């Protein structure tokens, strides 16, 4: 599968707030846009976007503590290893399909609208956003997508249509990051589900220091879309 370096987009026209300025809701600011340069600046700063409500404005979040999955600390059961052997792994072959499955409006707490699909699809085209997919008998049954900058990966969302399919995608993503000398896997918040897989909270100050070092590493060589 072809590989290429990501393309740096034009810089954002917005001055984004520092992550330490987050209020009691863990929000640093509201507004701006989802242009590639804005999104890359935000992630490099330590922020990520989600809307305030389904039709609300874009908010820029900086949780404290931040949820991370230590790349040497994912909890992998024997049953998950068995499940891993049942699925085929693919990377970046159906990015938009993965994202739209994650955006399924029937899922509880859904927040991914068309503007986010378009924004991350463009980041994928430029080589920054990636999908890790699980397939079974030629069918996409699970996966996750996120954004990678050097040794940093921000996992955004995942889905499954078969038992363990999203967990296997997560495991495969962790192994890909380990092999590529990445050192920070951000999952935003520690949910009970992610905690069961090894996610843990990290103080914002430590997260920002780890982010600075991760951005300076080369990280994995991600396959380009076919």
Structural domain that includes position 197:
66-215
Is 9 a member of any domain?
no
Is 95 a member of any domain?
yes
Is 122 a member of any domain?
yes
Is 51 a member of any domain?
no
Is 165 a member of any domain?
yes
Going residue by residue through the chain, which has 226 residues, state the pLDDT in tens, using 9 for 90 and above: 567 789 999 999 999 999 999 999 999 999 999 999 999 999 999 999 999 987 899 999 999 999 999 999 999 999 999 999 999 999 999 999 999 999 987 766 667 999 999 999 999 999 999 999 999 999 999 999 999 999 999 999 999 999 999 999 999 999 999 999 999 999 999 999 999 999 999 999 999 999 999 999 999 999 988 8
Give the total number of structural domains in the chain. 1
Long-range own/partner contacts, residues 136-144 (CB < 8 A, 24 or more apart): 136/86, 136/87, 136/88, 136/162, 136/165, 140/94, 140/97, 140/98, 140/101, 141/87, 141/165, 142/87, 142/166, 142/168, 142/169, 143/94, 143/98, 143/101, 143/169, 144/98, 144/102, 144/169, 144/170, 144/173
CATH number at residue 160: 3.40.630.70
pTM: 0.95
Is 202 a member of any domain?
yes
């Amino acid at each position: 599968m072809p590989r290429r370096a990501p393309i740096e987009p034009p810089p954002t026209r917005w001055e984004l707030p520092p992550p330490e300025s987050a209020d009691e809701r863990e929000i640093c600011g509201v507004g701006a846009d989802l242009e590639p340069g804005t999104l890359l600046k935000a992630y490099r700063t330590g922020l990520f976007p989600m809307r305030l409500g389904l039709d609300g404005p874009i908010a820029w979040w900086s949780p404290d503590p931040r949820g991370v999955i230590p790349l040497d600390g994912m909890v992998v059961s024997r049953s998950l290893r068995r499940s891993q052997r049942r699925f085929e792994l693919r990377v970046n072959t159906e990015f938009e399909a993965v994202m739209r499955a994650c955006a399924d409006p029937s899922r509880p707490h859904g927040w991914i609208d068309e503007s986010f699909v378009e924004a991350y699809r463009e980041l994928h085209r430029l080589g920054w956003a990636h999908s890790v997919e699980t397939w079974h008998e030629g069918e996409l049954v699970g996966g996750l997508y996120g954004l990678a900058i050097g040794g940093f990966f921000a996992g955004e969302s995942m889905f499954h249509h078969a038992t363990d399919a999203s967990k296997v995608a997560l495991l495969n993503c962790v192994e890909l990051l380990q092999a590529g000398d990445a050192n920070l896997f951000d999952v935003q918040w520690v949910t009970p589900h992610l905690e069961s897989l090894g996610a843990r909270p990290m103080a914002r100050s430590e997260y920002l220091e780890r982010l600075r070092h991760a951005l300076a590493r080369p990280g994995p060589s991600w396959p380009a879309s076919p």
